[in-house]
Copies of this chain bind each other. A is one copy, B any other.
Amino acid sequence: MPQSNESVTAFDAGTAVRRTPDGGLAAELDPGWDVGGSILNGGYLLAVIGRAAVLDSPHPHPVAVSASYLRATGPGPVTLTVTPGPAGRTLAHASVVLAGDGGASLSAQVTTATLGDDAPVYSRPMPDIPPVEECLSARAGDNLGGHPVPAIGLRERVETRLDPATAGWAMGRPSGEPVMRAWVRLADGREPDPLALLLFADVLPPTSWSVGLMGWAPTVQLQVLVRALPAPGWCLVEASASEIAGGWLDEDYRIWDSTGRLVAQSRQLARAPR
């Protein structure tokens, strides 16, 4: 590794996409972004997809990314195949496929654009939650009084402070309402940007934990919309489910930056824990 890379953050290093001699794109997926065993976090993978899409776009920001999670993805080398679609002054489209040894594992539609700093005509206000210092630090392995916070890499890489009102599951008292809120930031000090928002769009435990279903909920399809450039500092993430039925779960995220501006939204369909 060249010495200059030593100042690259864990997030930028782990999502780096490089051109290969044959003109393709490749990345080395970092085992540190796991959600258990060797399975990598879906938001982390989406950030790699976003980085590949902007490399080949006239626009710098992913504003809409929809990915199907074809199979669980582990660490190691992957290729990224970007197929450009129509591109104009306002936005550009592309399809991106991320593939490893086992074949394609993510297939995504990406729209890129250039986000500005326009004041919103309308913006849903941020929910009222306690400040960061009054929220519960959820580090891998912490036991907040009930179910220990799983010892996963994601929770080391993203500082996560749970709103006590939605953290009953961590104290053995699930609230019965599938809602979670938390302040998050990258543990390495890197400030948020649209790529980090793709990560944050799948950063919390499944909201089904709040109704007592404590297993993992593998993502089937995830859409993220990035709405504005986030200000430096903590982001507030709110996740909620509208329906848990027939083995399926949705997760709806809204993300606000430190100034209280809505900066991203996401929705995923996942398999519900049994």
Contact = CB atoms under 8 A, between A and B. Distances in A.
Interface stretch (A27-35, A107-115, A128-136, A164-172): A107-115
A107 B124 contact: no
Contacts of A248: 63, 227
5 contacts: A70-B93, A71-B86, A109-B109, A227-B242, A242-B262
A228 interface: yes
Interface residue range, chain A: 35 or more
A2 interface: no
A107 B107 contact: no
A178 B223 CA distance: 21
Interface string A100-123: 000010011111000110111111
B124 A242 contact: yes
A227 B265 CA distance: 20
Nearest to A125: B242
A269 B108 CA distance: 16
Contacts of A241: 122
B115 A221 contact: no
Contacts of A271: 90
A86 B118 CA distance: 42
A91 interface: yes
The quantity of this chain's copies bound in the complex is: 2
A242 B126 CA distance: 11
A137 interface: no
Interface string A226-244: 0110000000000001111
A119 B115 CA distance: 42
A180 interface: no
A205 to B, nearest CB: 16
A67 interface: yes
A108 B107 CA distance: 10
Contact of A223 (B90, B115, B267): B267
